[in-house]
């Protein structure tokens, strides 16, 4: 579980998909191999049954040839029947060859076929002789049975082998079907067990962190910054949880700093209130002093205006004095001139 938790979510989901794909591929392979084997067995059974039918037909033709010989010995004209039966016997032998029997059976039939040809030739000769003189062939009736028994034994043995092979292949086909069914069931059950064994822990490795993250986020929505996910996996959810825990730590640190700053700000605000009160008192005192200064300034202004008026009057007096002085100077000048003239005189 711990190793699975370290895998990414995509890899974990891909693991389930891969297991499912492998299981389906195994089932498909088993089915395909079984179908191919059944097809091969069915084809072999079909060839065996075709060969069996051809051998039975050949045996029937051999029996018909024997009957033709007996009939000819009784004086019946079976010339055309013999020709037809020989032709049918040859065609039946060709059909056995064309059926594609297994190698050992085909080899056995190839060894026995000359006996069938010889029997057909013997019957043809026998019927020809019987047609010419029926009495001349009556002493050879036992030879018909002897030759026919030989071919019958060979055909019987070969038919028994083919029949046994057909039965064996059909039984093998049934066993193959059962094996394929059993193997498919086993693989399907094993695949389902493996998928369930992987899916449950993988689902838990995804759902448990998601639920934990949901709980932490719900607490965060309520303003609780103390919750932590505690997820340490290295997958996408683990990285998300680490980021959320880091963000919560940062937010909690920031909020604690903001709280300390708020306390300091509150203390500073208290001090500022005291200072503001003192400033207000100083402002009131200043206002009173300003009012007194204003009254004094008005008094000074009135005094200045009085001084200005006196200064203006003084200026007028100074100008009068200056004018009088100028006139006195002119008079003195005239007096000096007169004195000079008096002196000269």
| Cβ atoms of residues 169 and 105 within 8 Å | no
Q: Between 50 and 138, where is the model more confident?
A: 50
Using pLDDT thresholds of 50, 70 and 90, give the confidence band for residue 246: confident
How many Å apart are CA 265 and CA 267, to the nearest integer?
5
Q: Which of 270, 274, 226, 251 is nearest to 262 (CA)?
A: 270
CA 196 to chain centre: 17
Higher pLDDT, 137 or 104: 104
pLDDT, tens only, 275-302: 668 777 766 776 677 666 566 657 756 7
Task: Quote the pLDDT of residue 198.
Answer: 77
Burial bucket for residue 96 (CB in 10 Å: 0-12, 13-18, 19+): buried
pLDDT of 111: 92
Q: Could you report the per-residue pLDDT of 313-339, keeping only the tens digit for each?
A: 766 755 776 676 667 667 767 766 787
Average pLDDT, the chain: 80
Indicate the angle between helix axes 236-344 and 141-221, nearest 10 degrees.
30
Query: Given a cut of 50, is residue 1 above it in pLDDT?
Result: no
- Distance in angstroms (rounded) separating the CA atoms of residues 116 and 175: 37
- Give the residue-averaged pLDDT of 9-28: 81
pLDDT, average across residues 93-118:
90
- Residue 233 in contact with residue 5, Cβ under 8 Å? yes
pLDDT surpasses 90 at 202: no
CA-based torsion, 43, 49, 55, 57: positive or negative: negative
Check pLDDT > 90 for residue 87: yes
Cβ neighbours for 55, distance < 8 A, ≥ 6 positions apart: 92, 96, 109, 155, 158, 159, 162
d(CA 21, CA 300): 111
Nearby residues of 50 by Cβ (< 8 Å), 6 or more positions away: 95, 99, 100
Question: For a pLDDT cut of 90, what percent of the chain falls above it?
Answer: 15
159 pLDDT exceeds 70?
yes
Distance CA 92, CA 159 (A): 14
Within 10 angstroms of residue 88's Cβ, the number of other Cβ atoms is 17
DSSP per-residue string spanning 265-314: HHHHHHHHHHHHHHHHHHHHHHHHHHHHHHHHHHHHHHHHHHHHHHHHHH
Q: What is the pLDDT of residue 233?
A: 64
DSSP-derived letter for residue 230 is: -
């Amino acid at each position: 579980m711990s190793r699975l938790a370290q895998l990414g979510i995509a890899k974990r989901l891909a693991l389930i998909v891969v297991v499912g794909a492998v299981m389906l591929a195994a089932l498909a392979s088993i089915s395909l191999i079984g179908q191919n084997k059944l097809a091969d067995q069915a084809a072999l059974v079909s060839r065996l049954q075709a060969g069996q039918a051809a051998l039975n037909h050949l045996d029937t033709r051999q029996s018909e040839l024997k009957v033709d010989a007996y009939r000819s010995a009784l004086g019946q004209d079976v010339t055309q029947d013999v020709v037809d039966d020989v032709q049918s016997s040859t065609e039946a032998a060709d059909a056995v060859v064309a059926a594609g029997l297994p190698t050992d059976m085909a080899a056995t039939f190839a060894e026995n076929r000359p006996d069938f040809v010889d029997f057909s030739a013997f019957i043809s000769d026998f019927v020809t002789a019987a047609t010419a003189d029926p009495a001349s062939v009556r002493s050879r009736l036992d030879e018909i049975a002897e030759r026919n028994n030989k071919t019958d034994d060979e055909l019987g043995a070969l038919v028994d082998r083919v029949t046994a092979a057909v039965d064996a292949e059909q039984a093998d086909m049934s066993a193959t079907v059962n094996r394929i069914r059993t193997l498919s069931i086993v693989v399907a059950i094993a695949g389902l067990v493996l998928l369930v064994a992987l899916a449950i822990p993988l689902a838990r490795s995804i759902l448990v962190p998601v639920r934990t993250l949901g709980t932490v986020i719900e607490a965060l929505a309520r303003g609780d910054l103390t919750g932590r996910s505690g997820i340490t996996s290295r997958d996408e959810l683990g990285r998300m949880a680490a980021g959320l825990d880091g963000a919560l730590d940062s937010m909690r640190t920031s909020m604690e700093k903001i709280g300390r700053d708020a306390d300091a700000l509150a203390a500073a605000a208290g001090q500022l209130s005291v200072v503001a009160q003192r400033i207000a008192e100083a402002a009131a005192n200043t206002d009173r002093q300003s009012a007194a200064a204003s009254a004094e300034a008005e008094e000074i202004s009135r005094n200045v205006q009085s001084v200005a008026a006196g200064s203006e009057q003084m200026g007028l007096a100074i100008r009068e004095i200056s004018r009088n002085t100028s006139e006195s100077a002119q008079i003195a000048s005239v007096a000096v001139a007169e004195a000079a003239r008096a002196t000269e005189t």
